[in-house]
Amino acid sequence: MAGIAGSMAILLAGLAAPLPARTQPAPMQLLTDTQHYCAELFADVEATQNALIEPAPPAVDRLALEGRQLCSLGEVRGGVTRLRRAMVLLHERSGEH
Amino acid sequence: MMDGATLGHAGAQSAPGLQVAGARSPQHPRFLRSAALRFAAMYALLFGLSALALALFLWWETAGLLDRRIDNAIAADVESLAQRWQEGGLPALIITIENRLAENVDDNAIYLLVDPELRRVSGNLSSWPTDLTVHRVWAELPIERAGIRSLARVRTFTLPGGFHLLVGRDVQVRAQLRDLLTGALLWALLVVLVLGVAGAVVIRGLFRRAMANISATAAAISAGDLSRRVRISGRGDEFDRLSETINEMLERISKLMDGVRQVSNAIAHDLRTPITRARARLEDAALHAESEADLRAAIERATTDLDGVVAVFQALLRIAEIEAGTRRAAFASFDAAPVLAGLVDLYSAAAEEGGLTLMFVCPDRLPLFGDRDLVQQAIANLLDNALKFSPEGSIVRLSAAIAGGTVTITVADQGPGMSEVDRARATERFFRGEAARSTPGAGLGLALVQAVALLHGGSVQLSENAPGLAAMLHLPGAAEVARGIVATADA
């Protein structure tokens, strides 16, 4: 019984371990998690909205505004996600995929 | 000269390497030799293995499924990007990557396009990961997002022109799920351990309780209380069947011991008379014989008495030999019809002398598998009894028949017969019915017939012949015995 417990513990420890300890490179930052990208994405959303012939869905303005606000408050990932949703709505409206 | 106790001890010592029966192994502690513990450990092992198998299946179904889905999504992404490259070259690929990043609502996509010198062209990574060679296809990449360290699953792809593409997904969700599963399974492991130990303790207790009943009975019998029997729980399980078998064995042993006591008493009672009579005659002759002729006559009478005693012992030994079963090794197939015919020829003279009619009815063949001499002697004993107890002018009938694979040989007389009570005891050693008390004999004839019948797997049956007694010897036919041997071999 002790052998089974030990085997399970080793298995689970192995599954839980992310990387070998001897190779620990510095984690990479994503460029899309930055204020700079947030601002770029907001500008893209505005440009895409202005290029539309038909009016954009009402949610686009809200999402874009929320996204910029979140980014300015330091919640970059949340802000970028809202801006991306706005971009998806705009592309759906324009028929571009 | 050594006594029994010393001899036994010396015998154990004088056989090096030979373990005395019942001696305990000195290598293992007592609790490790417990069968109950082995059963309990086996239960715990099976329980643990089952739980482990279930845990591995759950892991494969959940975290494993997620892994497979992520890999499939990355592979599909790589394929479509490669197609964009083929259709529109580098500019089209760059636009596609930027559009996908802009529309990545799940916020988990990772792209990096580098030139042959590993300089960034497009994507959301700043540079090619240092520990990732361009030739490695699948890899795990440590990333940090909003201060939280996470992991990305990435795939690299070399494009024509020496450009390299890296496509991946943030697998933080998978890592969280894995941590959740790990914690849950560790707790489950603890529960499994507790349940396994508890179950093992219960199993061990049940096993020991079941065996304690049998052990206690065996100990009581060893101490001398032969009336004890193993208690039956009534559940009809394997332990009850074992208990019933042990009780049947104890009943048989008890009957055998009663039989031995009875035989010892009968020997002491029935043989004492002729020995005492022979002694008295010799003593009388020694004191009062007046001539050599008187002495010779006394010696002859004593010799006759002692011959009778010897005959009784010989009959007892013969019965014991038959019951021991050693003659079964010499069994062979034979036809009993000529054996019966020979006996009729042998006894017809005695029958005629006694004014009796000896009738004989038998099929042409009576195939049997057994000892020819023993069967002949058994039937001879039955004929002896029939002729001895039949009145003048009556009929003694010897008949045989085969029915359902069993050969039945019947000797029927028209004598006084036996009561039902006497018929039940007639095959006991030294038993003599009321009608036999005035006739010579030691009461061993039917005991020998019974022993022969049992040796051959048959039986003896006594019934009313109205008037008289019918003694039937049932024996399995040769074909029936052969079928039994085949069935035993197949089993």
- How confident is the prediction along chain B (491 residues), in pLDDT tens digits per residue? 333 333 333 333 444 444 444 455 556 676 667 777 788 888 888 888 888 898 888 888 887 888 899 999 999 999 899 899 989 999 999 999 999 999 999 999 999 999 999 999 999 999 998 877 766 688 888 998 888 888 899 999 888 888 999 999 999 877 788 888 888 888 888 888 888 888 888 888 888 887 888 888 889 988 988 888 988 888 888 888 988 999 999 888 888 787 777 777 777 777 787 788 888 888 888 888 889 888 898 888 888 888 888 887 887 888 888 877 777 877 889 999 999 999 999 999 999 998 999 999 999 999 999 999 899 999 999 999 999 989 999 999 999 999 888 999 999 999 988 888 888 888 887 777 776 666 667 788 898 999 899 999 999 999 998 899 999 999 998 876 667 665 665 55
DSSP β-ladder status, B367-370 and B406-412: unpaired
Q: Is B197 on the interface with A (CB under 8 A)?
A: yes
C-alpha angle B6-B11-B12 in degrees, rounded to nearest 5 = 105
DSSP β-ladder status, B395-403 and B357-361: parallel
Predicted ipTM of the assembly: 0.78
Q: What is the pLDDT of residue B13?
A: 44
Instruction: Between A16 and B51, name the one with better pLDDT.
Output: B51
Contact status, residue B461 vs residue B410, Cβ threshold 8 Å: no
Whether residue B145 and residue A30 make contact (CB cut-off 8 A), yes or no, is yes
Q: What is the pLDDT of residue B21?
A: 46
Q: What is the pLDDT of residue B22?
A: 47
Q: Is B140 on the interface with A (CB under 8 A)?
A: yes
Which B residues, 93 through 122, put their C-beta within 8 Å of a C-beta on chain A? Answer: 99, 101-105, 107, 110
Measure in Å the smallest separation between the Cα of B44 and chain A Cα atoms: 7
Q: Is B145 on the interface with A (CB under 8 A)?
A: yes
Of A24, A26, A30, the CB nearest to B124: A30
DSSP labels for B264-325?
Answer: HHHHHHHHHHHHHHHHHHHHHHHHH--SHHHHHHHHHHHHHHHHHHHHHHHHHHHHHHHHHT
> What rounded mean pLDDT belongs to chain A?
80
DSSP β-ladder status, B332-335 and B357-361: unpaired
Report cis status (omega within 30 of 0) of the bond before B467. Answer: yes
Given a cut of 80, whether residue A23 has pLDDT beyond it is: no
Of A8, A27, A84, the CB nearest to B144: A27
d(CA B97, CA B86): 14
Given a cut of 90, whether residue A76 has pLDDT beyond it is: yes
Whether residue A5 and residue B193 make contact (CB cut-off 8 A), yes or no, is yes
Quote the distance between the C-alpha of residue B479 and its chain's center: 28
Measure in Å the smallest separation between the Cα of B48 and chain A Cα atoms: 7
C-alpha angle B264-B266-B271 in degrees, rounded to nearest 5 = 100
Which B residues, 20 through 49, put their C-beta within 8 Å of a C-beta on chain A? Answer: 41, 44-45, 48-49
Of A16, A27, A80, the CB nearest to B178: A16
Which B residues, 152 through 181, put their C-beta within 8 Å of a C-beta on chain A? Answer: 175, 178-179
Whether residue A7 and residue B124 make contact (CB cut-off 8 A), yes or no, is no
Q: Is B402 on the interface with A (CB under 8 A)?
A: no
d(CA B292, CA B394): 46
Assigned CATH topology for domain B63-170: Beta-Lactamase (3.30.450)
* Confidence band, pLDDT 50/70/90 cuts, at residue A17: very low
Hey, what CATH class is B238-324 in?
A: mainly alpha
Instruction: Between B420 and A19, name the one with better pLDDT.
Output: B420
Measure in Å the smallest separation between the Cα of A71 and chain B Cα atoms: 12
Whether residue B105 and residue A29 make contact (CB cut-off 8 A), yes or no, is no
Contact status, residue B174 vs residue B162, Cβ threshold 8 Å: no
Of B48, B123, B182, the CB nearest to A15: B182
pTM of the model: 0.48
Q: What is the pLDDT of residue B435?
A: 67
Q: Which CATH architecture group holds B327-490?
A: 2-Layer Sandwich (3.30)
Q: Which of A24, A29, A30, A80 to mutate to test the interface with B (most CBs of B within 10 A)?
A: A30
Q: What is the pLDDT of residue B2?
A: 35
Provide the sign of the torsion angle of the four alpha carbons A60, A63, A66, A70, taken in this order. negative
Domain ranges of chain B: 63-170, 238-324, 327-490
Given a cut of 60, whether residue A19 has pLDDT beyond it is: no
SS (H, E, C) B362-375: CCCCCEEEECHHHH
Instruction: Between B425 and A37, name the one with better pLDDT.
Output: A37
Given a cut of 80, whether residue A1 has pLDDT beyond it is: no
Identify residue A88 by its one-letter amino acid code.
V
Of A24, A30, A41, the CB nearest to B125: A30
